[in-house]
Amino acid sequence: MEMRILKKIFWIFCAVGILADAFVMKAWAAPEVIPEIEVDEENLYTGMDKTYKDGYRPRVENDTAHMVVPLVYADSVKNNILKVSLNLGNGKDIPFVSDTYEKEFSLTREKINGSEQTADCYLAVFDLKLKGDRKNGEYPVILTVQAENADGGPIHKEFTVKVTITDEKTPATEPSSEEPSTGEPSTEEPTTEPSTKDPTKEEPTTEPPAEEPKDDLNGAVDVTGPSGGGSGGASSGGGGGSEAPTFAPKMIVQSCTSSKEDIQAGDEVTLDITLRNTSSSESVRNMTVTIGDEGESLNLLSPTDTVYVDSVPAGQTCVVSYKYKILASAAPGAYGLTVSMDYADSKAASQSASGKIKMMVAQAVKMEFDTPVLDAEVQVGDVVNVQMQAMNLGRGTVYNVRAVIEADGLAPEGTLFIGNIEAGKTASGSTKVNVSGLSGANLYGRTEGTVTCYYEDENGKEYEKKMDISTTIKTPFSNKEEMKTDDTGQWWTVMAVIGGILVVFVVTIVLKSIKRNRKDEAEEESE
């Protein structure tokens, strides 16, 4: 009898063990992977000359950048519609015409790779109008994608597409003060009639103003004098009508070089300005060069804004230098400097000319990143949320701040994206990281890696900063107390109920067995 009772208890405990194993396996089941919106990098769609994997860039033509972004989503979204908006950045050097770009795109089946093969995607297409005075360079455009999943939950993702400008166009400037090379009179033959010229191409004749009226007057007397007729007077007169025209030499600003290749706010810089005498026969004498700046962000360190140059021979150049201090508060951009020149030509007549140079000033990019928040110990199978904060300590906006996590045993689900950060502001971002075993012989132990932070200034120049991270990867069975999640709490509740039932069942069986034994004993005694 007792053996039967023990067998029943044994089988009951076996059943309880099987149930416990089932709940443990459920608690350690792999978490469900939530799909995210992605850009199809593998396939070529209409309007694209390259795939994103091969370095796609929007096509620029007719003052328009044609952007194509194929978006794919592994799950379904509400009404099969994605809302896409564009952030073109800010700053006066961006090539895009300021406008609001926001559209809704439906799920469609598109032809891919120039064949009859098709694929389902949300094909986002934008035509970005370009400014007429754009500059060459790469300019990031941030796409923000928003939608709702089938359960009504929000979906949000951001992507960056760079637009490459190669057809730089500058705004219309004042007509050049340089004389056309064909306007020099040194090779022309003298004529017997007063020479004329196209006033749209040449400067007025610079004959000495004090003597010219007298020469004209004498010539007129010779022609009309009593000694000869009109033709005879013309042949014998010594007036100015028989002289070839002469032109005043022209001075232009030929070039400007600075002591620093990249000028930043707070720097001291020396500008070397090259001036050229465009005349092939006339020299320039007694020249003064005066420089003037625009705005209050440039502080002239040179003793004076005027430089004296004794002479500049025909066809030759001279260099004048000025030293500037750029204030730390200077806004990034181009600063114009006007160069004015006053000089005398070979006939001592006063002449003047002016030109303009531009000095590009950038704000120094100063970023600080907090070390990413990562637990000192993680377990295989965990999905941890890694957060990081960034601070913009500079005076200009920083764009596309993001971080890439690389470490053995850690598999991020994507780039940790923070976005644009204005001057003096702080922003943060996060990403999920799956914990797997180490790649070596030992699956568990300490792992070390890097977090590479990327960001861009207002001109699209990219910077990077690296930081070290480390953690210890442990086996999921090394510390069962750490397994207390919501599912684990439910498991303990169920086990407590099963244990209570088991105790009641065992007590009931034992009591029935005792009662049956007593009854048997009583019957034996009565017999």
**Does residue 407 lie within any of the structural domains?**
yes
> Which tens digit of pLDDT belongs to each residue from 419-466?
999 988 999 999 999 998 888 778 888 999 999 999 998 878 899 999
pLDDT of the residue at 206: 38
CA dihedral 164, 167, 171, 172 (to 10 degrees): 180
Is 48 in the same domain as 153? Answer: yes
CB atoms within 10 A of CB 184: 17
Is 152 in the same domain as 50? Answer: yes
Q: Which two tokens stand for residue 322?
A: 């000025």
**Cβ pair 409, 469 in contact under 8 A:** no
At 354 the three-state DSSP class reads strand
Q: Which of 190, 314, 203 is nearest to 241 (CA)?
A: 190
| pLDDT category of residue 306 using cuts at 50, 70 and 90 | very high
Domain extent, residue 500, equals 2-28+482-526
pLDDT of the residue at 369: 93
Residue 480 has φ and ψ, to the nearest 5°, of -70, -20
* Maximum distance among all Cα pairs of the chain, rounded to whole angstroms: 189
| pLDDT category of residue 36 using cuts at 50, 70 and 90 | confident
Distance CA 282, CA 426 (A): 62
Is 351 in the same domain as 377? Answer: no
Distance CA 68, CA 60 (A): 12
**Does residue 313 lie within any of the structural domains?**
yes
CB atoms within 10 A of CB 25: 9
Q: Which residues contact 481 (CB under 8 A, 6 or more apart)?
A: none
Q: Which residues contact 55 (CB under 8 A, 6 or more apart)?
A: none
**Does residue 95 lie within any of the structural domains?**
yes
> Which tens digit of pLDDT belongs to each residue from 124-167?
999 999 988 888 888 889 989 988 887 778 888 888 998 998 88
**Does residue 233 lie within any of the structural domains?**
no
> Which tens digit of pLDDT belongs to each residue from 37-91?
899 999 999 989 989 988 899 999 888 999 999 999 888 888 889 999 998 887 7
Residue finishing a domain among 110, 138, 165: 165
Distance CA 371, CA 117 (A): 47
Total residues found in the chain within this entry:
527
**Does residue 178 lie within any of the structural domains?**
no
**Does residue 319 lie within any of the structural domains?**
yes
Distance CA 63, CA 140 (A): 17
pLDDT of the residue at 287: 95
pLDDT of the residue at 527: 62
Is 68 in the same domain as 160? Answer: yes
Q: Which of 160, 70, 72 is nearest to 123 (CA)?
A: 70
**Does residue 193 lie within any of the structural domains?**
no
Residue finishing a domain among 292, 326, 361: 361
Return mean pLDDT, the chain: 78
Is 384 in the same domain as 332? Answer: no
* Dihedral sign of CA atoms 127, 133, 139, 141 in order: negative
Distance CA 513, CA 521 (A): 12
Residue finishing a domain among 118, 138, 165: 165
pLDDT of the residue at 394: 85
pLDDT of the residue at 227: 35
One-letter amino acid for residue 324 of the chain: Y
pLDDT of the residue at 35: 77
Kind of pairing, strands 462-474 and 377-379? parallel
Q: Which of 245, 231, 235, 254 is nearest to 197 (CA)?
A: 245
Residue 354's DSSP bridge partners are 340
Is 9 in the same domain as 80? Answer: no
pLDDT of the residue at 246: 66
Distance CA 384, CA 461 (A): 33
Select the more confidently predicted residue: 309 or 496. 309
CA atoms in the 13 A half-sphere facing the CB of 400: 24
Q: Which of 31, 30, 56, 29 is nearest to 42 (CA)?
A: 56
> Which tens digit of pLDDT belongs to each residue from 337-387?
999 999 998 888 899 999 999 888 888 888 999 988 888 888 888 898 888
Residue 263's DSSP bridge partners are none
| pLDDT category of residue 404 using cuts at 50, 70 and 90 | very high
Of these ranges, 231-235, 472-476, 485-489, the one predicted with the greatest mean pLDDT is: 472-476
CB-count burial class (<10 Å; 0-12, 13-18, 19+) for 57: middle
One-letter amino acid for residue 517 of the chain: N
- Asked if pLDDT for residue 195 goes beyond 50, the answer is no
Is 159 in the same domain as 43? Answer: yes
Distance CA 13, CA 117 (A): 60
- Domain with residue 371: its CATH number is 2.60.40.10
DSSP 120: E
**Does residue 177 lie within any of the structural domains?**
no
- Asked if pLDDT for residue 276 goes beyond 90, the answer is yes
- Asked if pLDDT for residue 328 goes beyond 50, the answer is yes
Distance CA 271, CA 298 (A): 12
> Which tens digit of pLDDT belongs to each residue from 308-325?
999 999 999 999 999 999
Q: Which two tokens stand for residue 374?
A: 């990562």
- Asked if pLDDT for residue 512 goes beyond 50, the answer is yes
Is 417 in the same domain as 467? Answer: yes
Distance CA 287, CA 285 (A): 6
CA distances from 90 to 98, 290, 460 (A): 9, 35, 11
Is 61 in the same domain as 131? Answer: yes
Which range is least confidently modeled, 22-31, 54-63, 247-256?
22-31
- Domain with residue 103: its CATH number is 2.60.40
> Which tens digit of pLDDT belongs to each residue from 5-20?
656 666 676 666 676 6
How many structural domains does the chain have? 4
Is 408 in the same domain as 494? Answer: no
Is 50 in the same domain as 150? Answer: yes
pLDDT of the residue at 228: 38
CB atoms within 10 A of CB 86: 21
**Cβ pair 393, 402 in contact under 8 A:** no
Is 46 in the same domain as 160? Answer: yes
